[in-house]
Structure 1
């Protein structure tokens, strides 16, 4: 019985000691402050306008503003509507008769040149004559060309003007291309339906003959 009373007395003293510590630390006051703060409603979030300066003047680069006015490629209809069109000119395509005429003349010219030098014929399409940056050489003609990339020269048979360009080898497909072809095409104003005769007069030099498809209309048939 004495032991039970001693235990209860010790327990009571421990509880009182803990209360004194809590009072010293003011833990109960801090807990009450936290609960009170949590109970308060949060202030409404202020929403700022997305663009508070709607009346501000539009900023433009001085460099852009000083550029000349760009041309307007739009077509205005009678009712005031606007239709945008491409500034590129409409491509001209040769007729079947003009193509056949150019190829036939090229075949005649190739026969006249003889077989002393390797020769091949290359008809021009719209893409090859005006847009392509390379000219594909027929596969059967590859036996006469270098086995690696090398510079070639194309000679105009009329003016003897020379054009240097790279003969590039596609090893996967065993094809060869004349690179920078567009400069030659633009200089000679090649058009759809024209036909070229290329004669390999030296190991790295072609002489080029041009048969114009438009010459079909200048001949009697």
Structure 2
């Protein structure tokens, strides 16, 4: 018990000695000052910097332009009225060359007219010689305008068409012949199909029956979507 009392007394004297030394060094005052300084908000250097007022440019100063367009002869025209006039002029000029790729020359078939032409084609196909393989192909815009690409049924191609790229002869109902190049890897007609489509005035909604009368020779039966209105 006496040892515990002596230990507590020694501890009390040590604490008082440490407090006296801290008071001499004034460390607690320095700690409080640092804590207050860290808590105080600091003004932003960017906000504290004063910007010089910018006056109007001289009357003879050139307009400011980026380096990318500074060398161009004149500034671009962003007025819609002028741009629209240029577009109309371009369209009028392109129509003088009789091109079917112009969007304003396209024909958009109704679902009724499209179905009418397809039904007529399927009725004819049912009457054809079974020894002549055939398929029905309705026309869309990509077949008769723009890209002029005619994809063929894959199953028909693998079963009845050559295993390599080859010219295919198309014979219309009047006996006129034209050639088109068959691409075996894409299962479709590419080169010269455009000429066939234009010469026969094919439009969106028309429907064709391709009847193979020889290994690389097809008779093409054309059914017009416009016949729906007749």
Q: TM-score, normalised by structure 1?
A: 0.57
- The structure richer in strand per residue is 1
Q: Between Structure 1 and Structure 2, how many residues are aligned?
A: 138
Contact 1:131–1:182 (CA under 8 A) maintained in structure 2: no
Matched, 1:137 2:152: yes
Q: 1:84 aligns with which of 77, 84, 87?
A: 87
Alignment root-mean-square deviation, CA: 2.6
Q: Offset of 1:129 from its aligned partner?
A: 1.3
Matched, 1:127 2:130: no
Matched, 1:182 2:185: no
Aligned to 1:93: 108
- The structure richer in helix per residue is 2
Query: Cα deviation per residue 1:174-215 (whole Å; 9 max; x = unaligned)?
Result: x41112210100000000100000000000100000000000
Aligned to 1:105: 120
Q: Offset of 1:90 from its aligned partner?
A: 4.6
Instruction: Tell me the distance in 2 between the aligned counterparts of 1:206 and 1:109.
Output: 15
Instruction: Tell me the distance in 2 between the aligned counterparts of 1:82 and 1:178.
Output: 39
Instruction: Tell me the distance in 2 between the aligned counterparts of 1:178 and 1:83.
Output: 37
Aligned to 1:117: 132
Q: Secondary structure at the match of 1:84?
A: helix
Q: Offset of 1:167 from its aligned partner?
A: 1.1
List alignment gaps of at least 5 residues for structure 2. Answer: 1-80, 92-101
Q: TM-score, normalised by structure 2?
A: 0.55
Q: Offset of 1:82 from its aligned partner?
A: 4.3
Query: Cα deviation per residue 1:99-136 (whole Å; 9 max; x = unaligned)?
Result: 11011000001011131200000000122112233311
